[in-house]
Structure 1
């Protein structure tokens, strides 16, 4: 990994920066537990429900690491919505700009396979997360921000996705834009993501892909070629997470690789979301967020990637998306 500063990059500042806002969905992750009814002998299926959702996981992880974090979401008043609010409150996430929504929460039934990977069946029709209006978004995103991180289902599903794209075009004038598409083919056809990819690249300063996302969005492209294609479309920083093989990042074509630490994997739920939180936390602490990443060199980026994989590994060692607190890892910044 090179530590050469990006040519012409000014030294990062460590002055207090505005918060990071995370925009997107909350999902109730229900894990199945088979059994048998003691009276009838009939097979039963129990559910252990955890608060989740890619953007929500990232917001919780950011706040626990110590970054001032605001969640921009449409939160239902149902039982799952109350679960989400409790998780955010206990993690220190600012919900002052969240929308109280009448629609139900999104539910995902998760089955964990060999190696800890999870497969989902989603129940999301008419859910609160995807009903954003332009007016709601303008109010939620008002005020100083250092970064707006979004993606996943909220960006890809309509009618809210189009409104979020409109917000990103304006937010770019005052904050770094980070996008994690987090492709969910069971709910949105990958072709829909591919159709919007070029537009998202025009908005994004940071674009993160998992290896699964890469296979859906740029089939057959190795990570290096994918990075070059996304750079050509306008993205300064491309990050490809490769599971146990670590991370590849490309900053305007300068490549960095970071290995994943050895981990006793329980499951991988929330691993990518928590990686993003760790990386954004370190970049925020280094004063690199707030614009087009002009202050970012490869050395602070490498440190941010290394912190991100540490956070991700910690999540893989526990059940569900339960990110660590900064005091458990050693706070950066």
Structure 2
């Protein structure tokens, strides 16, 4: 089982014409849990769900898509809302309504002992930087990193209005706790402006002793780096008709974990440390395909395993 930790919120997605928005359950961690379930894995979401109308809709959405909510906390606070804006290429921008909402109110007693079958703990996005919950989540994840692979998605959100230095400090703390880190070129451009993204990613991997660092490059594909091998593994992007990019990075991250699990690298942190460039390339190819397919749907609607594998066969000309 992969245990995903973090926010489950509502995205207000613009509809054609520009006068209406549709409420779509989202949030990076919630999207990741749905993507993992779609890819055939067992995914549980450790989150705080409001009892308001949006919270009930989020809960139903996740349960219908096979996400285990046995560890979800029933919260008194209202649901978090993100308003999505799309540019001409379908790239998403977000405005957040966060004050006093359910996702950030973690207390230590709400964070349980992970089930024995937990192979990986995935955490990321706003839940890793917004207090009071971020500090409690970090301590909890850090306490369990020796028994389960920890995957951290940087997913920096400048629109939230946090200080760049504060977010960078949080990112460094989380990378010290993680085995796998995923970051986008946009993340690196904001946190370390002016640097070459691949060079910055390589420094991060070495500085934090990461088993795997995944750098997503939008339509240009992705790069994998590691503190354990000098090679950079690069996979090109694939062309698809883009509806929007909402949830594409989450589908990518989930697909990496799903393929690492297929290959046996989530058997424990020690096993992940033996990951070689060939296996990293296989995981990257699968993830790039999943992320691309996610861009063909409205909102966070990740593909299932059969669709990803069929798409990969088509790109390889295997029929």
Task: State if a TM-score over 0.5 links the two structures.
Answer: yes
Q: State the partner residue of 2:262.
A: 285
| TM-fit CA distance, 1:33 | 4.3
The size of the alignment, in residue pairs, is 305
2:147 counterpart SS class: coil
Deviation per CA, 1:64-105: give whole Å up to 9, x if none.
Answer: 100111111001111111121122112111111111111111
Q: Does 1:28 align with 2:10?
A: yes
Q: State the partner residue of 2:127.
A: 154
1:61 counterpart SS class: helix
CA RMSD of aligned residues (A): 1.7
Deviation per CA, 1:95-142: give whole Å up to 9, x if none.
Answer: 111111111111011111110011211111111100111111135x34
Q: Does 1:178 align with 2:151?
A: yes
1:268 counterpart SS class: coil
Q: Distance in 1 between matches of 2:97 and 2:56?
A: 18
Q: Distance in 2 between matches of 1:198 and 1:179?
A: 11
Cα distance, 1:131–1:142 mapped onto 2, change above 3 Å: farther
Q: Does 1:251 align with 2:226?
A: yes
Alignment of structure 1 residues 106-145 onto 2, 5 Å: 106-139=80-113, 141-145=114-118
Q: Does 1:232 align with 2:207?
A: yes
Alignment of structure 1 residues 1-333 onto 2, 5 Å: 19-33=1-15, 45-139=19-113, 141-187=114-160, 188-230=162-204, 231-252=206-227, 253-289=230-266, 290-292=268-270, 293-330=272-309
| TM-fit CA distance, 1:143 | 3.4
| TM-fit CA distance, 1:32 | 3.1
The 8 Å contact of residues 210 and 242 in structure 1, kept in 2 or not, is answered as yes
The 8 Å contact of residues 126 and 157 in structure 2, kept in 1 or not, is answered as yes
| TM-fit CA distance, 1:149 | 0.6
| TM-fit CA distance, 1:148 | 0.5
| TM-fit CA distance, 1:254 | 2.4
The 8 Å contact of residues 252 and 288 in structure 2, kept in 1 or not, is answered as yes
Cα distance, 1:264–1:175 mapped onto 2, change above 3 Å: same
1:239 counterpart SS class: strand
- Structure possessing the higher relative contact order (Cα contacts under 8 Å, 6 or more residues apart): 1
| TM-fit CA distance, 1:281 | 0.5
Q: State the partner residue of 1:16.
A: none
Q: Which runs of 5+ in 2 are unaligned?
A: 313-319
2:111 counterpart SS class: helix
* TM-score with structure 2 setting the length: 0.91
Q: Distance in 2 between matches of 1:56 and 1:33?
A: 22
Q: Which runs of 5+ in 1 are unaligned?
A: 1-18, 36-43
The 8 Å contact of residues 152 and 182 in structure 1, kept in 2 or not, is answered as yes
| TM-fit CA distance, 1:286 | 1.0
The 8 Å contact of residues 25 and 56 in structure 1, kept in 2 or not, is answered as yes
The 8 Å contact of residues 121 and 186 in structure 1, kept in 2 or not, is answered as yes
* TM-score with structure 1 setting the length: 0.87
